[in-house]
Structure 1
Amino acid sequence: MTEFVLVPGLFTGPDAWRETAGKLTAEGAKVHVVDLGAATDLEAHIARVVAAVDTITEGQDIVLVGHDYGAYPAVGAADRRAERIARIVYLDTGPVQDGAVALAAVPDQELRERLAEEGAGGGELAAPSRSREEWRRWGSTAGVSDEALDRLAALASPQPLATLLQPLRLTGAGKGLPTTGVLCADSGATIDTLRMLLSFGDPTIKALVRPDVTFFELPTGHWPMLSCPDELADVLLRAAADEGTRLEAVDEEEAAQPGYLGPFLLDVPEIPRERRGAIDLYVPEGASAEPRPAVVIVHGGPVPEDARPTPRDWPTLIGYARLAASRGAVGVTLDHRLHAVTAYPTAAEDVAAAVAEVRADPRVDADRIALWFFSGGGPLTAPWLSEAPAWLRCLAAGYPIMAPLPNWGVNDPRFRPADVVARGGTPPFVLVRVGREAPAVAATVAEFVRAAEAGGAPVEVIDVPDAPHAFEGLDHSDRAQEAVREAMGRVLGRLGLE
């Protein structure tokens, strides 16, 4: 018989697991929900999980389930009772290692920094109020009913700061235990995202390519025990049975290439590049005689710092730059330092410097510039929308993420484009929207479009209903090709070329 030990996350207690525990019990499993209570530090919380494990009869298969912060005491307990544990399940949280500090479970960079400064003196982190917006700061509330959210808020308890600041200490006894990650799509984590990071060579994801590591994905937000308790119970039972998706190692020669490395969907002239520092220019014939407008292609991310090839050498982005050059504009690609979700300010500085360099080129008409952002580069449009210079004739975005995702922990107001377009008065904006988008990403796009409509901002939407994210290297259908031509035509039209 399988026995589940469920470890709550920040602010929550046993009541949050009531429905999921009931479903597991109805299916014949035994369930122990740990009440972490007001224990003073992480070690005290680990001791409570160990105590729950010790109540279980020898010989039972024990599955430890940790939700966000709960992963830390769960993994700590698995290390101390490794011989008793059949599997560890990470619920909408990433794997944790020796020396990790649970402050990382706080999804707000500025708050993390403040708590790190305040925590030396003890104290508590107050629980959110009953406001849905307040809870949304701690994770996507997608799927959680108002009634369930009220219950969550009413029973929420503060988190002792010492539990977030004390490093997790592991002996290594639990290393290699079977694990399962349950991803919540509306939080921003999907299996496709993991595969993309794996294609980048992300070492953390590469370490998860093991036969005893599985994944499930739920179409919900950060609190599946409230939004879809029965579905969560089913997933936990399947995880205990060693089911789930396993990541496959990327064979550089045999594996299918990710979309951004696939061949561009249009045949474009082989216009040579000119490399200058962090930018590449694709210059049309005759630009020396008459300065041409420029289309600056801005990649998304985060892209690991050691990823190769770097974005300006991706066929998709080169294809757009050459397409622009073939129609009379100077096409530009660049590399910027969006290597982590916290690096938007650095990336914004890089983009601004690159644009200044492009405008200084004598072959470029400095008064006619368009910026075209892709994927995770979407938040970088906000500064340009907010303070658009006269020479910025147009902005464009392809399958963009238009706000930091809920699980990023980034709440910098400088990178929320929807807040800017809601005020109106922004430059023309061409948005290419794909139909097969991750739910969390699609939600940011929908928010941006609604805000633009409310503010009367000039946003033109081009839909590619059947296309996936980064479709140019994956979907060569007539509609996909037509959408790219149409988007480029609208951008160049704003530059006075068509």
Structure 2
Amino acid sequence: MTAFVLVSGMFTGTHVWQDTAARLTAAGAEAHPVALTGLDGPSTATGPGIDLEAHIADVLAVIDSVAATTDRKIVLVGHDYGIHPALGAADRRADRVERIVYLDSAMPRDGLPPLAAVPDQSLRERLAGDAGDGGALPPPAHDEWGRWGSTAGVPAPALDRLTALAAPQPLGTLLQPLTLTGAVHSVPTTGVLCTGNGTSIEMVQLLVGFGDPALRALVDPRVTFFELATGHWPMLSCPAELTDVLLRAAAGEGHRLAPVDAAEPPPHLRPFLLDVPEAPRERHGNVDLYLPDAEEPRPAVLFVHGGPVPVDARPTPRDWPTLAGYARMAADGGAVGAVVDHRLHDLADYERAAADVAAAVELVRADPRVDADRVALWFFSGGGPITADWLDAPPAWLRCLAATYPILAPLPNWGLSGGTRFHPARAVANAGTLPVVLTRVGREVPEIAATVEEFLAAAEKCGADIEVVDVPHGHHSFETVDPTDESRDAVRRAMRSVLDRVGRPDKA
């Protein structure tokens, strides 16, 4: 006995829900797609009056109409951008909405505009500069939908129709901040994650482990999750499976995240798997140096953490056991170990994070205790996309590039699909003779593992110098979550390979 109120995303209208709505109705539910002002058709008008508040009013009108004609429970479904007007409406009708379904959408925050959820930084900056002119963002061309989310699984005729019926997105809907009273926080929620678009329950659980305050609410038992093995438009690619998930979500089913045990350190703060000797450490701005016992200049290895890491995370990555452990290993092997804290706090931060890494490289190379012509860079996890800068045009002093459980191609929902920057799987074609030491874990998150395989296929095609260090039973962050002999051997092997390539006394 459920009435589903369906709110579509950017550029789209009620037409995207056609198959799903029919299946929900056939299952005995009601389905009410919301016609959003300025979007429900290819030629609807735009103007300065069409903003987020106008779309919230559209959703409220449907909720009130449903509530006036039936006693069914209302489940509010927001896809993509649609979650913003859905949340705004639910905040004002919290007593009428039984559950909110985030359908492959971001997690909007009070006081931020929907534009904040767009990962393309250059687009965000350009649109923010157009505030107040009443314009609209043109819809994607047929071959441009991938910029806004994976089209995996969408049949060709459905993609043709999506393009034909797409409407310009009024800028006011993206630029007006979402304002919430907090009443919506009492409404149970369900996240439906489309794995083909780069998100999974396992990845969300990893992010919760970092301690981001914005994600703490996700371990509430009223919050459930489902996965769909498809791209960003499941109502077009798998309407039957989506219908089943929506009905189950309405019934309160779904996966619940494991709560963070306050008595145990989170995975990234557990002890490093090797007992490495201490080394003198110096702090220079956002870079820590771990110094070997040597008088003459030595090679250096700069370790680059992953992310995104919450801006208020404490301790910061350079004090995490894994990064400090690797840096001490490098110092014990006769090289200068360096760790940089960079500003990858959001998917839109890759440019400034890359700039932080480049500045750290110059700081390390300028130190008189470092042989500036013998340097290695070592990247982890979400820091992997930054390797593209160095693969694309390796400097002569870069003797080795290492990557451990890295992301080596942008995930579809990152908005970084164009060009080679931050796309190592494309940049590796220009790596030349640069040695790459890649540590691959056998129990990797599937979405990340796919990027590694894409990189290796590209590397093989161009004949790049790649050494793969496998940890068959290792998970992401295996240095603190899998302290096994297999894991220890892999860390030692990777370190030996890197130090051999920069040159050092045979001590590791």
Q: Same fold (TM over 0.5)?
A: yes
Partners of 2:280 and 2:416 in 1: CA distance: 39
Q: Tell me the CA shift for residue 396 of structure 1.
A: 0.6
State whether structure 2 residue 140 is matched by structure 1 residue 128.
Answer: yes
**Residues 303-340 of structure 1: CA deviation (Å, up to 9, x unaligned):** 12321222122111222222223333222223222222
Q: How does 1:190-339 map to 2 (within 5 A)?
A: 190-247=200-257, 249-253=259-263, 255=264, 257-258=266-267, 260-285=268-293, 287-288=294-295, 290-339=296-345
Per the alignment, in what secondary structure is the counterpart of residue 12 of structure 1? coil
Verify the 8 A CA contact 1:185 1:438 in the aligned structure 2: no
Q: Tell me the CA shift for residue 115 of structure 1.
A: 2.2
State whether structure 2 residue 86 is matched by structure 1 residue 74.
Answer: yes
Partners of 1:275 and 1:135 in 2: CA distance: 45
Partners of 1:46 and 1:334 in 2: CA distance: 43
Which residue number corresponds to residue 153 of structure 2? 143
State whether structure 2 residue 60 is matched by structure 1 residue 50.
Answer: yes
Q: Using the TM superposition, name which of 302-311 and 446-455 deviates more.
A: 446-455
TM-score if structure 1 supplies the norm length? 0.90
Partners of 1:18 and 1:380 in 2: CA distance: 41
Per the alignment, in what secondary structure is the counterpart of residue 348 of structure 2? coil
**Residues 188-216 of structure 1: CA deviation (Å, up to 9, x unaligned):** 33333333333333121124443333232
CA shift in 2, pair 1:153/1:337, >3 Å: same
Which residue number corresponds to residue 2 of structure 1? 2
Partners of 2:220 and 2:94 in 1: CA distance: 19
Q: Tell me the CA shift for residue 222 of structure 1.
A: 1.4
State whether structure 2 residue 22 is matched by structure 1 residue 22.
Answer: yes
Match of 1:493 among 489, 494, 500: 500
Per the alignment, in what secondary structure is the counterpart of residue 328 of structure 1? coil
Partners of 2:214 and 2:331 in 1: CA distance: 39
Partners of 2:109 and 2:503 in 1: CA distance: 55
Partners of 2:355 and 2:108 in 1: CA distance: 32
Which residue number corresponds to residue 61 of structure 1? 73
Verify the 8 A CA contact 2:394 2:431 in the aligned structure 1: no
Per the alignment, in what secondary structure is the counterpart of residue 89 of structure 1? strand
CA shift in 2, pair 1:49/1:481, >3 Å: same
State whether structure 2 residue 421 is matched by structure 1 residue 421.
Answer: no
TM-score if structure 2 supplies the norm length? 0.88
Which residue number corresponds to residue 483 of structure 2? 476
Partners of 1:423 and 1:465 in 2: CA distance: 29
Per the alignment, in what secondary structure is the counterpart of residue 94 of structure 1? coil
Verify the 8 A CA contact 1:107 1:138 in the aligned structure 2: no
Q: Tell me the CA shift for residue 276 of structure 1.
A: 3.7
Q: Tell me the CA shift for residue 147 of structure 1.
A: 4.1
The answer for unaligned runs of 5 or more in structure 1 is none
Verify the 8 A CA contact 1:341 1:410 in the aligned structure 2: no
Partners of 2:472 and 2:18 in 1: CA distance: 40
State whether structure 2 residue 382 is matched by structure 1 residue 372.
Answer: no
Per the alignment, in what secondary structure is the counterpart of residue 82 of structure 1? coil
Per the alignment, in what secondary structure is the counterpart of residue 302 of structure 1? coil
CA shift in 2, pair 1:144/1:482, >3 Å: farther
The answer for unaligned runs of 5 or more in structure 2 is none
Aligned residues between the structures: 492
Which residue number corresponds to residue 389 of structure 2? 383
Q: Tell me the CA shift for residue 398 of structure 1.
A: 0.5
Q: Tell me the CA shift for residue 266 of structure 1.
A: 3.0
Verify the 8 A CA contact 1:107 1:139 in the aligned structure 2: no
Verify the 8 A CA contact 1:404 1:410 in the aligned structure 2: yes
Counting aligned pairs with the same residue, the percent is 65
CA RMSD after TM alignment? 2.6
Partners of 2:100 and 2:45 in 1: CA distance: 22
**Residues 356-407 of structure 1: CA deviation (Å, up to 9, x unaligned):** 3323334332221111111111122122223322211010111111234333
